[in-house]
Amino acid sequence: MQGWNDFIASYPKAHLFAALVSIRLPKGLDLDIHGKKLPTPYRLLNEWLASNLKGPHSSTSTSLGVVIGVVEEGDRKSLTDRFGPCRGGGPRVGDRSVPILRNYMDGSYAQLAHELGYELNFGSTKNDA
């Protein structure tokens, strides 16, 4: 994955999205039930991006969470199919207001972690939507 500043310079018209998640795990939550180190919500999202997106993409942490950039229309669709729909009110990147993905937040960490092979001992891993 390309660094954020290089990505934005290379693809100034990329599709941008935000996810309002913590960049750190809650205190005391370090390992899954098998002793596998758990990623932060930011890193977990990056694992999903790396596994599911085909074209150029990047992400960066902000004070509000994570901003994701994708170039390909298929990647935009994959992202919004999994984590959309979007709403306004997100962070600004340059002169652009970034829409917020509604379906990835701290409360949905357990479900995404389960999808990516982590076995947690808290929260629901079922999609109740």
The confidence score (pLDDT) of residue 49 equals: 96
Find all residues with CB under 8 Å of 31, minimum gap 6, and list them: 37, 38
The confidence score (pLDDT) of residue 2 equals: 83
Judged against a pLDDT cut of 50, whether residue 128 lies above it is answered with no
Q: Is 19 helix (H, G, I), strand (E, B) or coil?
A: strand
In whole angstroms, what separates CA 79 from the centre of its chain? 9
27 residue type, one letter:
K
